[in-house]
Amino acid sequence: MQKANEIRDHISAIEQTRKITGAMEMISSNRMRQVMSHIEHNREYFAYIRRTMKEILTSTKDISHPFLSARERQKCTYVVISGDKGFCGAHNATVLNFALNRIRANPNSELITLGNTASSFFNSHGMNPTKSMSGIVQDPTLSNAREVVRKLTGMYENMETDEIRVIYTSFYGETKRQPVEARLLPVVVHDYADIRDAQELEGIIYHPSAQTVFDFMVPQFIFGLFFGIMVQAYASEHFSRMTAMRSATTNAKDMIDKLNIQYNLARQSAITNELSEIADAAEILRGEEDEEYY
């Protein structure tokens, strides 16, 4: 059995760990709540953009856009989003292994990583990313999303790639907290098949023209799609970290409770031993006094 002072030091170390994991749980909980409003607002904006685009496509003839033109797939670019940090359970490992399998199934592909863990993971597997962007996943703002989208659309316009797909962790629906793959470019017409509330408008006048309005909305559609992906990945990461830290805090408390029991037993054992030694010493002294008397 450990000595009482050793158990006391062990309890102190675990108590410090519990404070850290508790603080990390609170931070992740607050950050997840903050980003939830962005998710809801973006979902409303994104739904409105998609509905309007479908109304223009169904009610106006001869509408086209370079991003709607599907190409013969020669080269695919995968954008993999993971966290910059760990301590979030299996979140990073799950999405990165999912991405690894998808990329290996498409040999003629290019890799772009958002997140330090993604860069380290693929480098360790001998797959060096073409571009690595760190810090963006921890700050899913509109400006950061716009910067990434500008680079990706530039690659597509310059014929550097024929398709762009994003792999991330979903935060909604049946795929919640699971890795998913979404096509960012090109925008395919059947992407609007699930829109039920779009109306076939007749006689509506778009200013300055339907094509001009559509040309403005397509980049906004791509931007809204990618921003939604970023905030979902961010929320999923912090949800996983909050859950992992809550579990760690609970486990630390259980360990402290068990160690307190061991500490009390060790103290009782030490006190018992000390009392026994005192009693034995007293008995010896009493025996020596009796010998002197006789």
What's the mean per-residue pLDDT of the chain?
A: 82
pLDDT in tens, 201-218: 555 676 777 778 778 888
pLDDT in tens, 47-83: 777 777 777 777 677 777 788 776 776 789 999 999 8
Q: Which residues contact 213 (CB under 8 A, 6 or more apart)?
A: 56, 206, 207
Give me the mean pLDDT over the 39-47 stretch. 72
pLDDT in tens, 15-28: 998 889 888 888 88
Q: Is the pTM of this model over 0.75?
A: yes
The candidate with the shortest Cα–Cα distance to 184, out of 209, 214, 156, is 156
Structural contact between residues 127 and 103, judged by C-beta atoms closer than 8 angstroms? yes
The candidate with the shortest Cα–Cα distance to 82, out of 73, 72, 91, is 91
